[in-house]
Structure 1
């Protein structure tokens, strides 16, 4: 009975009344709950956005710091690689004027160029232990000028990777009252065979260049670095700190106690203020980098958004309830016109126009539909332009390949001409040369298969046999399953070339080069043996020692072993110090080079 009366009452309502009733029962209540759900979602998304922004800021800061680290380490590596410079400061303490002038024009000039070529560096200095060595400012000083530094407490890192001193005032060298800059320093021992440590090398970079993000002053965030001694480094003049937004007392203890992993985030509260902290560990500096953001502004924005959402929901419910009946006919008419227009767009007409406008929801829908059509046309135009640009890029890429292909084509023509004239040795030589050029000029990747590298060696031996009248035999003993293994490109060729030039060529008669590969996890061994004249066992040990000690002095005396040292350095750089080359040789008994690689 009751349900019948309700149905009867509903049938008596007109369309406007039915829409209002439908709005109240179907729209108003869900909108009310939707508003609260939007508030919750907004709070969650805002917190996630704040965390995402902090992580992105930290990532950018780490990338900038890593570039500074790389620049300092590269400068230090170049300095340590200047063997003539190190030899002079180690052995020429009592040198004469002529020797000093030669030193300044040569090795010293090269070292000073290191700083000039790395514009981010503030200074590069070497402090020599030899008290009689003449100081040459601004590069070479006596070690007594920095005697206040207790580098003997810095550990073994000073000898190997170097020791980092984070933000500090540069060491005063003279008694002159000059403004000392805040710098980040990298120190490393300068060693010379037979004399041990002969000095300390120092690379300095201004702290605002090394840690640019620490000096980027933002109103609501702050960055700092804390090292293993719990020392904290930051820009004390930042607006975030000067405004008293964060209490600094005990801040380093709070940050380190909550840094339980190499990277992460946490929140903490101090003086009724909440802060979001995102951190990461920088292994090279043995320090943590922190990005600290005040959540006060975030909470203020959330409160404003919460009030706006609630207000908008309330107003919308009231307005819709009042005007629904009045605009029913208009809504239906405009909706029908929009539907007709959409159908035209669906059929492919993109240049249609909705013949009405207004500030109500339907008018807004029409407006945004028009904007959408404009955007679609704009995107179509952009896609067409991108396709044209991509096509032009492909054409330019093909044009850049013409130069190298021209050389290959010329070699191919020479090969064909030699074959026509029955000059098959020339044809084979040109073919081998072309293969070698394609291999050596293509450096799109650092790694190649063993099979590709052996193919290059075969072409090289084929060319060398033209020079030595087929006196060189190449024997390859490699298991089939290892041919697809990848090694560094150009690993074998310098060794084989060394065997030909320094072993087989002086011998004068038939030479044999044997390449064999074995694997025993976790290592793979490549053995290259020749039956050349060999070298003294002591000399072989001296060369091996020079490679492992990162010194090229032994190899540079007669250019014997430079190629092998370069191969050894590349292997250690890519795979680690436990890998590299081993040299075995005796006079008139041939030479064996053993390459240890990861398997």
Structure 2
């Protein structure tokens, strides 16, 4: 049927261009929304990364300062606990013994400072009676009266009040060596037995130790170490005056990050406080550095967004081409179906949904055609079977009654074997017919096998010994009839009967992985391993696969002179038979 387009109607877009426009709008709108947020997010991300890097830098610097302070405190502990220095400060006479004690004390300090601690300028040991200065670097600023100079210095009260621990201070008005860029650590030395003050030790440290200490820590900004009153270390040069940084120290807490402007330039400041000394460490990073890094990222993001848009356009064209190609194939297939033609060799790509639907539609159509043909054939065969059944119909009750009469007549004549054979044959015939039902229970099938073996034992004078082992509950399951008896008959005929000695047959039944398995084993004459199924077993194999599916069937294992084992594998049916 051809549809006529009304006059005056607007031009309709094809599915291909609808898909392309949908893909473009689906890509463009999120890009326009996400783009500005992406720039703000990246800006914040860069600031956070710079802040995190500064915090890591300060944390590393804090660890280095802790190690440095611990080294100095350990040196003061060695001095404090030294027997030679204790003896020297407690000795109140002028004698060779005093010289010996001073020499031993100098040797101790020499071992401490010469190799392990080159950043120590000098160490002073003394009291109001005698004193000495051990110089490690540079020249001594004074040769005598150092104790009086210490007492008159501005930092002496801090030293006097340091109790058992030591204290750090700036030595602005007194330096032990000719190096004025020093930091002092002082400690009161007390008698170990009486705890009374016996003297003082002052350690002069070169401030360049901080430069060496922070050399291995990467930082692109400025570093200031401050003791709360005076700067201890600063590597910013003339870029920013220390006084300007000191004015903003009180504006933010430990661990915080703020932005501040110095001389019309914006900086990011991060502060960290050393818990051992209470020194404040401030990292100062120019904001322009962040902007430069952000500019590079912004260009990259713009390039990515543009590339995303171009890729979306290309992908939309490819997808629309593929979809419309499948739609055209579906149209051709529908045309063939209308004419009842066989559809084959259609190139649907089953990797996507439309191709899968198209391939499935073709498969269903061809399958429907096959089933229609099979239905016609089965209806013809069914009619033929009905005719054969009418021609060969025998009243089963007549046969049952006749066999039962033979049974009672044999008993009356005291021919018990003949009676047993008659009753077994009657039961076998009844179970075989199964009232015309093609399904039976496992129990009935096993009973059929027993009656068959009883008849054979009467025939062969109890030559066959057998054992039947069924899994509990299995006998209530349903199966198609006449599967086991032909297998057992095959074992008797081809395995036990040709054998001179008595034979043994074992029948096992059990469930396995949602299926039923029967094993029929005999110790008969066996056969070659390349032996194939005969007509009877082939018939069973075909019946099983037709009823249960291609994954079920028979498997035979045989060895000449050893016997044969046939494994029957069937599925569960939907209902049980009593």
The TM-score, its normalising length taken from structure 1, stands at: 0.45
Q: Work out which of the two has the higher radius of gyration on C-alpha atoms and give 1 or 2.
A: 2
The TM-score, its normalising length taken from structure 2, stands at: 0.47
